[in-house]
Structure 1
Amino acid sequence: MEVDLGVPLAPGVPAAPHDASGERVVTHDLAGLAPPPRPARRWVPRRVVATPAAYDHEHGLRVMARVEELGLEVERLRSNRLTGLRGGTERETYAAAKSTMAIVVSPPSRRRLQPIAPSADWRFDLAEGCPAHCQYCYLAGSLSGPPVTRVYADLDDILGGLAEYAGRGTVTSRRADRAGEGTTFEASCYTDPLALEHLTGSWRRAVEHFGAWDADVQLRWTTKYADVDGFLDVAHHGRTRVRFSVNCAPVAERFEGGTARVADRLAALRRLALAGYPVGLTIAPIMPLPDWREHYGALLAEVAAAVEGLPGLDLTAELITHRFTPGSKEVLLGWYPRTKLEMDEAARTRKHGKFGAVKWVYPRDTMAELRDWFTGNLPPSCRVLYWT
């Protein structure tokens, strides 16, 4: 569903100079360099539920208040379990879950952070589930049960528990080529933060938390949406890197339902860069389609135009090829039985993950060809963090 909730356009787009201490500060001197934002594409759940435990947390009550201000009713559940989300078929279950937002308390396992190679030192979650309809969805087969979007009410406790992990990272903070990022915390493994922000306010609070955290740390999240105006005035102090997931037109237009247009995502990247944020591209999933050089060349031309003339640009790229597991393929075919997404094991190479799980990737020669082309055609100002 696409609605305009009346968010005013920013009067100017801030630039990114530095003060005497080296911190980035926000001004409005370069407003003319960024295009005005288009009306935001925002998800409106058909059903919002809250567990009893969510009412014990201040942030849970804040989320409920935001939701009710948007004219949505919050249904209080009788127990802390989510039930009644399954339909008669896989498609019915998918439809019911994807239109539901649940305000819950995070399970204890979510509070024990795990490394998240190759993106960041640590993964933490403020939500689980995504309202988009990407036919290659990375969450398929990774999360158990119906794909309902769960928003965590105990945000303040989650953010408060991060300090004990600072300086202890092993994935990025010990690599010489990424030492400047400090201890990195990834917050978008199991959700798209920007898709939920108008309902929760969670990620603005996270950006504020990292901005006020006087330590060598960085918050990282990625999105397929463009509704960034609520972040332009945040005192982030350069400690949040927002990456935009982009793809060439045949992939984005066919397989990424319910998301913002790629052009709008790139315009949002520009606005955040002008506001002093480190920014990034997550080009994923890369697919060797017919005429893929032409299609991805057009995408990279859009990227180059979006970052042209940006002062002090800090731009990274994460390059991720398409892969799938037997479990994710089964789930995706249940969700999207008529998908045209290529998942042919005969055209792939079998690979075993860290814990022995099977996944199907492109053959070695194809991977090498794709990698060479992308690393040779990205804008010179773009730093590649990893290829996988």
Structure 2
Amino acid sequence: MPSRLWRPRRVLVTRSALAHAHGRAIAERAAGLGADVIELSGDRLALPKPEDPRAAYREAKATLAVVVASESKRRLQPIPPSADWRFDLAEGCHAHCQYCYLAGSLAGPPVTRVYANVEEILAGLPQALGQGGVTSVSPERAGEGTTFEASCYADPLGIEHLTGSLSEAIRFFGAWDAPVQLRFTSKFGEVGPLIGLPHGRRVRVRLSVNAQALIRFEGGTSPLSERIEAIGRLARDGYRIGLTIAPIQPVEGWREGYADLFDQTARALDGVADPDLTAEFITHRFTPKSKTVLQGWYPGSDLDLDEASRSRKLTKFGSTKWVYPAPQMREMRDTLTALLAERLPQAGMLYWT
């Protein structure tokens, strides 16, 4: 097993999770990798509380919790513009991305939680067939069917060697004889467990990529070259594929950096007859809460979080987020969409945000 795969130092398994065969299997895999597996007597997570916030962060990032998704956690949520519905196989991420959007979205220490009741989670998806507000009602994306996003609050591929949950979801969608699509995105290139699975062309795997100069902000993830190589492997195995280009930032040399990214992808897909490639463009933004959290996690980071260079916008919930000014946003959009059309003409652009 490649050394880059995450090995949590400690794994907490709740009593309810141990009642599921899937939960017990996760615990066994983690123990096989040398993790300290602790079986809890109840369902309350006993998390460490070091006085030093940096120590608390390190402890949490090294901890995996195997829990059961409650009924409220299993309730499907709309997730525009990516997909009709969001469902979760896990929550949290062990990587160290200095712009992490989960920093402002998830409360508490950044422990990665994985769900033991995967069968129950998947069994709730058919109720949403034919419903939703994105692909289900879009003439342009109707061919995707009802879409289900599995990577809103986690990177399920980065922990697949521990959980096996993503493979279960792929088998489920592969056997689901209906116009549906499973979607997830990842910053990890270890796609070996997915190769050869009966996906039925009902799965779109997107690799989260960026200009090489920005990959340095993504600690603990796969190198860009491995992610691009993974795109080629997946395409040759019949998966629908995609690029999640995020978070876009106009750093020095950004035009050349993104042109090179598209050129590398084109080379990886050379010879693939029908790659069915999509592209999603997501620009960098932050909220006051996420800025505070991220500066606490990564005090030495030189990531640009200067409000003076941004425009203030309101989220759908009425809170503040800081985005690039409209003229700069137009320049980036015009440049990157033109580069995509030139270097990857077979790619379909889904959205820019």
TM-score w.r.t. length of structure 2: 0.97
Q: CA deviation at 1:66?
A: 2.0
* AA partner of residue 367 (structure 1): M
Q: CA deviation at 1:239?
A: 0.5
Q: 2:325 aligns with which of 345, 363, 378?
A: 363
* AA partner of residue 112 (structure 1): R
> Tell me, what secondary structure is at the counterpart of 2:262?
helix
Cα deviation code 1:123-157 (max 9, x no counterpart) = 00010011111000010010010000000011110
Aligned to 2:245: 283
Aligned to 1:384: 349
| Inter-partner Cα distance in structure 2 for 1:86 and 1:359 | 30
Aligned to 2:17: 54
Aligned to 1:342: 304
Aligned to 1:270: 232
| Inter-partner Cα distance in structure 2 for 1:251 and 1:74 | 35
Q: 1:138 aligns with which of 73, 91, 101?
A: 101
| Inter-partner Cα distance in structure 2 for 1:351 and 1:86 | 35
Cα deviation code 1:80-130 (max 9, x no counterpart) = 122233321221111000000000011322111110010000000010011
Aligned to 1:85: 48
* AA partner of residue 255 (structure 2): R
Please say if residues 48 and 75 of structure 1, whose CA atoms lie closer than 8 Å, have aligned partners that are also in contact.
yes
How many residue pairs end up in the alignment?
Answer: 350
| Inter-partner Cα distance in structure 2 for 1:97 and 1:170 | 36
**Identity of matched residues, %:** 56
Matched, 1:147 2:96: no
Matched, 1:303 2:265: yes
Matching of residues 44-123 of structure 1 within 5 Å: 44-123=7-86
Residue ranges of structure 1 left out of the alignment (5+ in a row): 6-38
> Tell me, what secondary structure is at the counterpart of 1:109?
coil
| Inter-partner Cα distance in structure 1 for 2:35 and 2:220 | 20
**Structure with more relative contact order (C-alpha pairs < 8 Å, separation 6 or more):** 1
| Inter-partner Cα distance in structure 2 for 1:357 and 1:125 | 24
Please say if residues 40 and 227 of structure 1, whose CA atoms lie closer than 8 Å, have aligned partners that are also in contact.
no
Q: CA deviation at 1:78?
A: 2.9
| Inter-partner Cα distance in structure 2 for 1:271 and 1:84 | 39
State the superposition RMSD in angstroms. 1.1
Q: 1:331 aligns with which of 293, 316, 323?
A: 293
Matched, 1:173 2:151: no
Q: 1:210 aligns with which of 173, 178, 181?
A: 173
Q: CA deviation at 1:40?
A: 6.5
Please say if residues 80 and 133 of structure 2, whose CA atoms lie closer than 8 Å, have aligned partners that are also in contact.
no
| Inter-partner Cα distance in structure 2 for 1:305 and 1:249 | 16
Please say if residues 323 and 359 of structure 1, whose CA atoms lie closer than 8 Å, have aligned partners that are also in contact.
yes
Matched, 1:314 2:279: no
Cα deviation code 1:201-238 (max 9, x no counterpart) = 00001000000011111000000111111111101010
Aligned to 2:206: 243
Q: CA deviation at 1:70?
A: 2.8
Aligned to 1:221: 184
Q: CA deviation at 1:296?
A: 1.5
